[in-house]
Amino acid sequence: MEPLAKNQTWIEVDLPRQIRVSTGSAIVLGLLEGRLSAEPTTAYLMTYKAGKCTANCGFCPQARNSRSKVELLSRVSWPIFPTSIVLKKLGTTERDKIRRVCIQALNYPNVFEHLTALVTAIRHHTEVPISVSCQPLNSENMRRLAEAGAERIGIALDAANEKLFSEVKGEKANGPYTWENQLKQLSEAVKVFGRGKVSTHIIIGLGETENDAVSLIQRCVDMYVSPALFAFTPIRGTALEKKPQPFVESYRRTQLARYLIVNGRSRSEYMRFDDLGCLTDYGVEKETLAWIVEAGTPFLTSGCPNCNRPFYNEKPSGPIYNYPRKIRQEEIAEIKQQLGLKPNL
Ligand code: SF4
């Protein structure tokens, strides 16, 4: 490790000179000019390294073997900026515009040093809460991230069952992750960050049934882990580029089930599924279901507070899987149709 120069701190040594920022976040921060049909309320940053991630997740443009454009994460472009300028912008952007910072971590040898330095530096520039979405870390490193100022951590399961996990990001994908360790580190993270301060990502449309997804959502909630739903998005150059997006009807049913479970209004055991594993009953009264659907909340982007990820999984022209803003009345009518509910229910 390089000796410290005079007046230089370890943080500055480990602080990466460049960082990626999602296009929408860059526009809100004033790093780029542009118009947005929905503004991100979280500033999405991604650790930068020359080349790709050492992991090999089948859906990810950053994967080791992907031939996708290097600036992509899902369908969103993340241009590179000098870290010092991004920090200044975070420090001067109004609190009601950016209410959270989320750092997406690629997998590479010194990523943890970069993460700790970034969290510390961001903490110096702004009070907004910080989420770190990263690979499983050991408890000691999670503690150091929390001490540096990270409020929440996200460790993605992505796949809704062990078999798919292995095929998409584990052993069968020549990836470094195991289902067992991912779940173990999620429960360790709850011990370090606290109940409700840990998220995981579940991608719908990788080949799971709704029953698989709902069972995993229940398991996460019982572990005090917040499940964030993503709709599978095929990206050119990835291993899964030819796979279609999930049916929006199936995604809606899963969103509704997630909302009922996360808010303690039902449990997966009370829900009913048909022979194909599709939801047929949510285990709540029809009237309760009616006003919950009418409110629209279950269909908003799920995850850390103020994480709205605009058009991360869809084009603004739709179909919209995760609504990044308040849902309009005509969209509620469309959602009811997608759920097979009567308009005046
Ligand atoms: S839920 Fe959103 S803010 Fe939280 S870790 Fe995931 S992407 Fe980041």
Instruction: Output the pLDDT for position 1.
Output: 46
Pocket test for ligand 1, best of 229, 309, 313 (most atoms within 8 A of CB): 309
Pocket test for ligand 1, best of 20, 42, 74, 137 (most atoms within 8 A of CB): 42
- Indicate which atom in ligand 1 lies nearest the CA of residue 154: 5
Q: What angle do CA 117, 180, 60 make, to 5 degrees?
A: 60
Spatial contact of 102 and 156, defined as CB atoms under 8 Å apart: no
Tell me the residue type at 10.
W
Query: Could you tell me the pTM of the whole model?
Result: 0.95
- For residue 139, report the distance from its CA to the centre of ligand 1, in Å: 20
- Indicate which atom in ligand 1 lies nearest the CA of residue 104: 8
Distance between CA atoms of 321 and 195, rounded to whole angstroms?
27
Core vs surface per residue 249-258: b (16+ CB within 10 A) or e: ebbbbbbbbb
Tally the residues of the chain.
345
Which among 8, 75, 73, 9 has a CA at the least distance from the CA of 47?
73
Judging by DSSP bridges, how do beta strands 18-21 and 80-82 pair with one another? Answer: antiparallel
- For residue 275, report the distance from its CA to the centre of ligand 1, in Å: 33
Instruction: Output the pLDDT for position 341.
Output: 85
Query: What is the DSSP track for 56-112?
Result: --TT-TTSTT--S-TTEETTEE--EEEHHHHHHHHHHS-TTT--EEEEE----TTHH
Looking at the DSSP bridge assignments, the partners of residue 18 are 82
Distance between CA atoms of 287 and 292, rounded to whole angstroms?
9
Distance between CA atoms of 166 and 158, rounded to whole angstroms?
11
- For residue 304, report the distance from its CA to the centre of ligand 1, in Å: 5
Tell me which residues have their CB closer than 6 angstroms to ligand 1. 42, 102, 131, 133, 154, 199, 201, 228, 303-304, 307
> Which pLDDT tens digit goes with each residue over 122-176?
999 999 999 999 988 899 999 999 999 999 999 999 999 999 999 999 999 999 9
- For residue 243, report the distance from its CA to the centre of ligand 1, in Å: 24
The residue whose CA has the least distance to atom 8 of ligand 1 is 102
- For residue 68, report the distance from its CA to the centre of ligand 1, in Å: 23
Which among 160, 162, 120, 155 has a CA at the least distance from the CA of 138?
155
| φ/ψ of residue 219, rounded to 5 | -60, -45
Instruction: Output the pLDDT for position 342.
Output: 77
**13-250 has which CATH code?**
3.20.20.70
- For residue 163, report the distance from its CA to the centre of ligand 1, in Å: 24
The Cα-based distances of 169 to 30, 89, 160 in angstroms read 35, 35, 12
Distance between CA atoms of 130 and 124, rounded to whole angstroms?
12
| Residue boundaries of the structural domains of the chain | 13-250
Residues of the chain under the 50 pLDDT cut: 1-2
Instruction: Output the pLDDT for position 13.
Output: 73
| φ/ψ of residue 21, rounded to 5 | -130, 135
- For residue 198, report the distance from its CA to the centre of ligand 1, in Å: 10
